[in-house]
Amino acid sequence: EMRKVTGRSRWTRIGNKSRGIGATWVSLVLRLHSFLFLENWSVLLGAPSLDDVDDGGKGATHESLMGKIRFGVARLPSWMRDSLLGPLWSNDAYNKRHMVRNPKKPLNHISGAQFSGMFGRGERYREAYGDEIAWAEEMDAADTSLKQTTNLFEGNSTPRGKGSFHYQMFAGGLPGVQTFTAHWSEHPELTIDWYNDQRAHMTDEQVAQELDCSFEGSAGGRVLQEVTLDTHFTLRETEDK
């Protein structure tokens, strides 16, 4: 679906996702495809911490964004990897912490940085992707910086209440933002039995945050846990007097 809007001159897409359904993997595979096949394509990845971006360079795990990118490259058939990247891929000049570059297309690179007011400043990128943006303390400053860094930005996150910048973006607080929800129930291999098994080991707030994509339920600190908008309030239309 993201590819349907890449022809536009500028777009921002903000997602609200369940945890553990592969949403981050799918988003990064799309960026990896651009890195390998498109021309003059640079990508900026962002996350709440530096380790979330890249936790070890060439030795990074797939817990980090750059680790997932390297994992994807490593799982390509050798003939395809050699054809698209050549023998220099493993050299430090092309594959180092917080940056990978395509040796056969030197203008194609993927860089990573922690969300802050300096996010992306100093260089233009064709697109940017941010993961778990609700948990980035300086996401509002990073968003300001991004406006002159790229025309294409997608940010994903599990919810963190209605006080987060993620919610502000998702709920229409900023102009020109497209939104989408990646809910666990859309995953073809996950069932209600899986959901109930997950719930058995979680609090209501954790379920709201990690599974239900609920901004309201994930806020924390609620005094009356049983009171929700769905069960205790009714919206009524009133006529103007």
151 has a pLDDT exceeding 80: yes
| Cα Rg, the chain, nearest whole Å | 20
pLDDT digits (tens, 9 = 90+) for 85-125: 999 998 999 999 999 999 999 999 999 999 999 999 989 99
Whole-angstrom CA distances from 45 to 31, 85, 102 are 10, 20, 16
235 has a pLDDT exceeding 80: no
Cβ neighbours, 10 Å, residue 216: 15
d(CA 141, CA 221): 26
Q: What's the pLDDT score for residue 11?
A: 87
Q: What's the pLDDT score for residue 8?
A: 54
Q: What's the pLDDT score for residue 122?
A: 86
- The model carries a pTM of 0.87
3-state DSSP of 40-109? CCEEEEEECCHHHHCCCHHHCCCCCHHHHHHHHHHCCCHHHHHHHHCHHHHCCCCEECCEEEECCEEEEE
